[in-house]
Structure 1
């Protein structure tokens, strides 16, 4: 189990990869983001996307799936997140792409009001199979401390 005390700013971790399928892009779009360029090859071809593109929110969901899968393999004493900062969709994600998620710990802060927890910020980057960055954000994570200070 990884606790607050184990975190070192500057540490980079590759969480893993995710293969983007046409079926998932269409299913997500139909349910959550039914804009034409997420639903139709023809509509997407008439836009700057050029071809069917995953919703940015779907890209975020796939990113989260990769991160949670990695946390199951290497458990983190995570207590969830109060949010993210600076979310940017940089390039479209297309069916057939494989995205890779990595993060670098920026900093960590012990809670002053809750000695049993802290938080840390991670610069998260998502790249496609060509190494092109498609998504970027700063995550904020709450995490348990191994032992509360006296």
Structure 2
């Protein structure tokens, strides 16, 4: 069954969207890190033990990439998930044994003053592991459009 595509007029403050899950692994963490964030705490389990993270941790940007993938599949916004900025925090490391999902909540809808067919959505996105611990907190500003723009 296909998900309903949601336009601006279908959305309200307080709407919640829950994504599917994503399983991390040591290999996934290392592969991402070697290409995009080659630091020992992301690339080497043994050396990572003596770092701030006390063990192998996924790059924050890896967690952000996983979050983006989960968001695109769980936010059925007409015209896609179009970002206009945001604020991101990583309150705890993401580990190789984590199974992540994203809980997204619309916190504010701010209609455009110059483009009546669109608005900014302020969406709180929590990337949560299997222990119900938040690994990433993102407040995203996303564009939303009315029908027949």
TM over 0.5: yes
User: Does the 8 A contact of 1:16 with 1:102 survive in 2?
Assistant: no
CA RMSD of aligned residues (A): 1.5
Tell me if 1:76 matches 2:78. yes
Unmatched 5+ residue regions in structure 2?
Answer: none
Mapping 1:99-138, distance limit 5 Å: 99-138=100-139
Unmatched 5+ residue regions in structure 1?
Answer: none
User: Does the 8 A contact of 1:4 with 1:119 survive in 2?
Assistant: no
* Cα distance in structure 1, aligned partners of 2:6 and 2:106: 13
Residues paired across the two proteins, number: 145
* Cα distance in structure 2, aligned partners of 1:77 and 1:2: 9
TM-superposition CA deviations, 1:75-114 (whole Å, max 9, x none): 53336111112x1101111112101101110011221211
Runs in 1 of length 4+ with deviation above 4 angstroms?
none
SS at match of 2:54: coil
Of 23, 29, 38, 1:25 maps to: 29
| Corresponding residue for residue 37 of structure 1 | 41
* Cα distance in structure 2, aligned partners of 1:64 and 1:15: 11
